[in-house]
């Protein structure tokens, strides 16, 4: 990135889609809108390498020079997300294979197999040629590898993947005897006597081996990373001073994003909340928090829509002010950029109905006028660049638990009357109503409603910097996790986990003698059995003592664990069912800290009261504000930037802390009450504090 402090503003630019006379108009409009960076070459492989022995950079050289002459930086894509047709036709291992044995037709993006030797060789060569050619170019400020890994090709079942999977398993398990033991292949007579017998886990007659499925997902996840790493190593060797990124999507279920963190200079996000969903701002807040937490520093919004997208059933436009609001929300949560897909709306191609910064109507359109106004307004807030969102609360995200609860292959077909039809793709599970990420999102939103910032981290991250760590549906307990949690709580931390946690080990084997397994000591409780509730089913949580800030009882749903306290104190108990009186919430003192176990899905009002109490005890500020008003604080060197965002359709009123506050956007000074207009954005810093 540039050395000067600024908010990066721009988008994906595809000059190759337009005649050269349009390029000069583009540059004029970019300067008018204060664009300072564009992404180039994202899908240009066929133009950069028209055949195996020819590279043609002339057109791209001209664009790079034009941008540099106009003071616009370039995030240069390696073009490897869409291989040219000649490459696909020449090498029969390029295309990925679906579970049915079919391969996609060429001519689209992400049709490649991530383990294709031919594809990987071609990728390394293209990356090398581009890095050598553009090394030292004055416009080049950032490398952009591939594009949206796993968007279309997250699963492949070809022979190359099968052979590499066998090698991966041999390295992991050493012997077939060990693999058979860890996979439990004695069940259904699945025992393997030769490594070559192990195929990719395609559809079978019934439920498939859960450990094999998980290991295959782990293998593919690592394959995405090693594919990225091959390009990364080539580029960093040739241009060591240019940072490297790849743009991730909001869906992290397709591969383990935490694998990338030590080989990623800048984390980048493509985010596309649905304008027709009133809670889209919460959806976006979680994705921004995930991306911010990945590297623990400001990230980039690489893509968002200027107005509508083209893949929802109904693609409504972003109404006036919404694009600006969501752009500032990204900045509030830690982005140092506002970028879009795409600069100019396409005339042809599969995404011609996706909005652009310059719509089909041109520069006199509402959208371009809003884009231009935003780009110029961002000059006023450049001081927030490099500042951070400081979180004292973390939520653990574990892909293995996610994949074990929400099988990437599906759970089969389950109707609402609980009749179960096992499909060949499915994995049996106690209830279709439980979702790993849904539970994580539920807890994140509970903190978000209190305007408490939350980091979303991997299970091997350092926990010591946080006061509260929450692990929703921590289904799998891998080696080292028990010790990390115990050490965190012993030293004064607060740990919270939920129902159906601590059930399986890293090989998907169930812990015996009570669920919660290795977590039993720190939680002081073990679980005998579970009772998923039917659709619409409810229970209640009766508080066992009159605790300040709590009601007498609360509703709960989805699931009820039947637990037995060991050393834990029961704070609330179920009122209904054969397990009436069993704890629904426990607290266990462990060292200098406490561990809480929530045996159900409590209603929102309980979550508010429960989390408010714990946050207060930990001296973490809670800022309850009117519904749909969001407060996020970025800080640097003792200076706070308070983002007040009104996601509602009506004006809202907020009581400010004592003092006077200046709005970075307007220079207006506020005291006592802040009136937030519809879609209003206010970035306040302290002007004068009352003594």
Instruction: Specify the pLDDT at position 425.
Output: 43
pLDDT score recorded for residue 422? 38
Q: Tell me the backbone φ, ψ of residue 563, rounded to 5 degrees.
A: -115, 160
Structure tokens at 286: 């979680």
Asked if pLDDT for residue 2 goes beyond 50, the answer is no
Catalytic, 627? Answer no
Other CB atoms within a 10 A radius of the CB of residue 437 amount to: 18
DSSP string, 283-314: HHHHHHHHHHHHHTS-BEEEE--SS--SSSSS
Average pLDDT score, the chain = 94
Beta-carbon contacts of 518 under 8 Å, excluding residues fewer than 6 positions away, are: 477, 481, 482, 502, 511
Residue with tokens 């073990």: 526
Residue 104: pLDDT above 80?
yes
Residue range 515-548, pLDDT digits in tens:
999 999 999 999 999 999 999 999 999 999 877 8
Residue 441 and residue 448: Cα distance in Å, rounded?
10
Please give the structure tokens belonging to residue 444: 């994140």
Tell me what pLDDT residue 427 has: 66
Least confident residue range of 100-104, 169-173, 455-459: 100-104
Which pLDDT value is given to residue 549? 86
Would you give the distance in Å from CA 215 to the centre of its chain? 22
Tell me how far apart the alpha carbons of residues 286 and 292 are, in angstroms, rounded to a whole number.
Answer: 10
pLDDT of 413 reads 41
Q: Note the pLDDT tens digit of each residue in 382-416.
A: 999 999 999 999 999 999 999 999 865 554 444 44
- 3-state secondary structure at position 388: strand
Instruction: Select which of 148, 162, 249, 439 is catalytic.
Output: 148
Q: What pLDDT was estimated at residue 424?
A: 37
Catalytic residue among 231, 249, 303, 587: 303
Q: CA 299 to CA 388: how far, in whole Å?
A: 10
Q: In the block, which residue shows the tokens 């919430």?
A: 585
Radius of gyration (C-alpha) of the chain in whole angstroms: 26
Transcribe 116-128 into DSSP letters: -HHHHHHHHHHHH
Degrees (nearest 5) of the Cα angle 543, 544, 550? 35
**CATH class of the domain at 629-688:** mainly beta
Residue 172, classed as helix, strand or coil, is helix
* pLDDT over threshold 60, residue 369: yes
| pLDDT score recorded for residue 66 | 98
Asked if 439 is an active-site residue, the reply is no
pLDDT value of position 495: 98
> Taking the chain, what is the end-to-end CA distance rounded to the nearest angstrom?
41
Domain boundaries, the chain: 8-80+118-153+228-384, 160-212, 393-617, 629-688
User: What is the pLDDT, as a whole number, of residue 573?
Assistant: 98
pLDDT of residue 408: 57
For residue 546, what pLDDT is reported? 77
Q: Does domain 393-617 match CATH 3.40.50.880?
A: yes
Give me the CATH code for the 8-80+118-153+228-384 domain, please.
3.20.20.80
Residues 522, 519: Cα–Cα separation, whole Å:
6
pLDDT for residue 416: 42
| Average pLDDT of the residues in 9-16 | 98
Q: Which residue, among 86, 128, 91, 141, has the nearest Cα to 113 in the 3D structure?
A: 91
Q: Is the pLDDT of residue 185 over 50?
A: yes
């Amino acid at each position: 990135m540039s050395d000067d402090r600024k908010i990066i503003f721009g988008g994906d630019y595809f000059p190759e889609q337009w005649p050269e006379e349009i390029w000069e108009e583009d540059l004029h409009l970019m300067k008018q809108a204060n664009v300072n960076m564009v992404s180039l070459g994202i899908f240009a492989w066929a133009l950069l390498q028209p055949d195996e022995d020819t590279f043609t950079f002339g057109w791209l050289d001209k664009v790079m020079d034009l941008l540099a002459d106009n003071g616009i930086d370039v995030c240069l894509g390696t073009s490897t997300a869409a291989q040219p047709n000649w490459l696909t036709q020449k090498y029969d291992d390029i295309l990925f294979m679906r579970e049915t044995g079919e391969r996609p037709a060429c001519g689209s993006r992400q049709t490649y197999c991530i383990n294709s030797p031919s594809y990987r060789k071609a990728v390394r060569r293209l990356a090398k040629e581009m890095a050598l050619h553009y090394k030292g170019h004055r416009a080049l400020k950032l490398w952009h590898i591939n594009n949206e890994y796993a968007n279309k090709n997250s699963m492949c079942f070809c022979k190359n993947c099968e052979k590499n999977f066998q090698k991966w398993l041999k390295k992991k398990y050493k012997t077939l005897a060990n693999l058979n033991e860890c996979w439990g292949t004695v069940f259904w007579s699945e025992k393997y006597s030769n490594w070559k017998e192990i195929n990719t886990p395609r559809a079978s007659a019934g439920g498939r081996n859960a450990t094999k499925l998980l290991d295959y997902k782990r293998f593919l996840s690592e394959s995405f990373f090693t594919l990225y790493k091959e390009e990364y190593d080539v580029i960093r060797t040739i241009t060591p001073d240019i940072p490297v990124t790849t743009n991730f999507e909001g869906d992290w279920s397709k591969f383990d994003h935490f694998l990338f963190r030590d080989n990623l200079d800048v984390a980048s996000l493509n985010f596309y909340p649905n304008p027709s969903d009133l809670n889209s701002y919460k959806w976006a807040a979680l994705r921004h928090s995930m991306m911010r937490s990945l590297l623990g520093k400001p990230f980039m919004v690489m893509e968002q829509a200027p107005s509508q997208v083209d893949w929802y059933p109904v693609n409504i436009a972003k109404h006036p002010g919404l694009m600006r609001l969501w752009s500032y929300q990204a900045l509030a949560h830690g982005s140092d950029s506002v970028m879009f897909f795409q600069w100019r709306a396409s005339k042809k191609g599969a995404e011609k109905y996706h909005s652009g910064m310059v719509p089909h109507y041109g520069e006199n359109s509402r959208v371009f006028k809003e884009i231009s106004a935003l780009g110029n307004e961002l000059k006023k807030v450049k001081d927030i660049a490099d500042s951070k969102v400081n979180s004292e609360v973390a939520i653990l995200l574990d892909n293995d638990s996610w994949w074990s609860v929400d099988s990437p292959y599906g759970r089969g077909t389950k109707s609402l009357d609980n009749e179960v039809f096992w499909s060949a793709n499915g994995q049996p599970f106690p209830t279709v109503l439980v979702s790993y990420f849904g539970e994580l999102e539920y807890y994140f939103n509970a903190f978000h409603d209190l305007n408490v910032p939350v980091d979303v981290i991997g299970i091997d991250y350092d926990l010591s910097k946080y006061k509260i760590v929450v692990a929703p549906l921590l289904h799998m307990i891998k080696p080292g996790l028990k010790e990390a949690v115990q050490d965190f709580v012993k030293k004064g931390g607060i740990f919270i986990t939920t129902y159906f946690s601590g059930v399986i080990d890293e090989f998907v084997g169930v812990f015996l003698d009570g669920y919660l397994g290795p977590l039993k000591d720190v939680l002081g409780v073990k679980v005998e059995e579970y009772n998923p509730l039917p659709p619409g089913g409810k229970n209640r949580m009766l508080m066992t003592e009159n605790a300040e800030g709590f009601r007498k009882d609360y509703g709960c749903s989805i699931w009820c664990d039947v637990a037995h306290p060991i050393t834990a104190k029961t704070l609330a108990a179920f009122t209904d069912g054969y397990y009436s009186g069993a704890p629904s919430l426990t607290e266990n003192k462990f060292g200098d800290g406490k561990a809480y176990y929530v045996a159900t899905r409590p209603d929102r009002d309980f979550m508010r009261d429960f989390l408010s109490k714990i946050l207060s005890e930990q001296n973490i500020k809670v800022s309850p504000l009117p519904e749909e008003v969001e407060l996020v604080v970025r800080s640097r060197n003792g200076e706070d930037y308070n983002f007040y965002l009104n996601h509602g359709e009506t004006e809202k009123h907020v009581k400010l802390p004592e003092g006077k506050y200046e709005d970075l956007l307007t220079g207006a000074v506020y005291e006592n009450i802040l009136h937030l207009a519809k879609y209003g954005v206010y970035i306040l810093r302290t002007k004068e504090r009352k003594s």
